[in-house]
Structure 1
């Protein structure tokens, strides 16, 4: 590798700004609230960015002043809160319209509250939870390594044909065929989670061992994003909550929250 090559870090300084090369849009109540090819990535926290949208690309008639929320200040400058109204749908505290900002490129932009909108899109693909970090990579690779999952010495799954998911900053996840999972030990859960890189889960399971129920140990994505299509319909277990053995060697449980 060229010693002069400088790869971008996974984390960024707070208030780092970059142009978004993708078209970004969002909808509420069936109406497009904004549609832009000039969005900015803004790292309000080090690990992933938020979208800031030029006010000129927002349908201003959908913004309604939010007098209760008023204005607020941050290291990015002073912003005025607005709600969003589409027909009978009103979402208060939905948008922060930036005034003059000390951060280059942020004056006259809008930072929308993610949950205030019904759906967000990068180009024509829906994204979930928050924008994807452009410096995070996710790979789903088929494997013939042997994987065994235990909890309190009870085998919950065992497979020789897993799909391994490698995601920046996260432990490797091992997705297993349903036929390799002992569902007699598992009970369905109502939990649903969303991931910017994998999509929306279609099932969670808890494990009952003896008289104790261990909640939400396993999950699956029946309809994952295109990038991780090999995991469709497979079951994964939290490394943090079970004992994993790969090729006969027990893995150390990660020390940080999942």
Structure 2
């Protein structure tokens, strides 16, 4: 979670921000604003002068906002742009992050949402003895875990695949994206009883630079498994 400021909270961004859609940069500015509408991560907002009117077609209007379709050539991102008319956000425009093809901070692509300058991610090598048990079956046993500490998020334990029961891990088609770690692939756990726990494990084939040390390691959903550190059963995240 970001520092305890009220929402919306607005800060200038020192980064050059570019928004790519249908083969064009529809925004290219060094005057973007970081806006927290919720505690967990910010959005980028823009001065209307930095969102070219040639790409905008009015879609709807209310007392507090105007919405626009963003059109480039034959591509149309419906209701993708919102101009706020009242309150702290008055005069600022927001572009739906997932409606665009790509976003760049300077020359680095960012995913899902902007990186929060109030958050950090650390990966630390550990020699703690960790065991992961799924419905009574030990699926991982290691003294070489890497612990990922992310501000406001439960600590995640990444384990070498060589210390896991890879015979029980079955690849799935699921992928997810994290702005700090990159694209995750998933495994289901298939027990000898025939029980299958879908997408219980994830890993990063090519993690982003700040989390490079988790490359090839796997993490289990601690909320759904029993995890032991140095012989002590850990409370599942969210439990007291």
Secondary structure at the counterpart of residue 61 of structure 1: helix
Alignment of 1:37-52 (within 5 A): 37-52=30-45
> What residue number does 2:199 align with?
216
Residue pair 2:2, 2:39 contacting (<8 A) in 1 also: no
Q: CA deviation at 1:247?
A: 1.9
Select the residue among 63, 86, 101 that pairs with 2:72.
Answer: 86
Q: Tell me what 1:166 maps to.
A: 149
Task: Work out the CA distance in 2 between the residues paired with 1:12 and 1:150.
Answer: 40
Cα deviations by residue, 1:165-189 (Å, 9 ceiling, x for unpaired): 0011111111111211212112212
| Partner of residue 87, structure 2 | 102
Query: Deviation above 2 Å: which 4+ runs of structure 1?
Result: 8-12, 106-109
Deviation at 1:109, TM superposition (A): 2.2
Give matches, 1:61-80, under 5 Å. Answer: 61-66=54-59, 70-72=60-62, 78-80=64-66
Question: What corresponds to 2:168 in structure 1?
Answer: 185
| Equivalent pair of 1:12/1:47 in contact (CA under 8 Å) | no
* Residue 89 of structure 2 corresponds to residue 121 of structure 1: no
Which residue of structure 2 lines up, in the alignment, with residue 207 of structure 1?
Answer: 189
- Offset at residue 252 of structure 1 (A): 0.7
Q: Secondary structure of 1:224's match?
A: coil
Q: Over aligned residue pairs, what C-alpha RMSD do you find?
A: 1.7
Aligned length: 238
Deviations 1:122-152 (A, max 9, x none): 1111111112222111101122222111101
Question: Given that residues 11 and 48 in structure 1 are in contact (C-alpha distance below 8 angstroms), is that contact kept between their aligned partners in structure 2?
Answer: no
C-alpha separation between the residues in 1 aligned to 2:115 and 2:172? Answer: 27
Partner of 2:16: 23
TM-score of the two chains, using structure 1 as the length reference:
0.87
- Which whole-Å deviations, capped at 9, do the CAs of 1:200-227 have from their partners, x for residues lacking one? 21x2011122122111110011111111
What stretches of structure 2 of length at least 5 have no aligned partner?
none
Are the aligned partners of 2:2 and 2:119 in contact in 1 as well (CA < 8 Å)?
no
Point out the more displaced range, 26-35 or 11-20.
Answer: 11-20
- TM-score, normalised to structure 2, is 0.93
1:58 to 40, 47, 51: 51
Q: Deviations over 1:58-108 (max 9, x none)?
A: 232111222xxx1245xxxx2211111122211101100233x331xx443
The DSSP-based 3-state class of the residue aligned with 1:240 is: coil
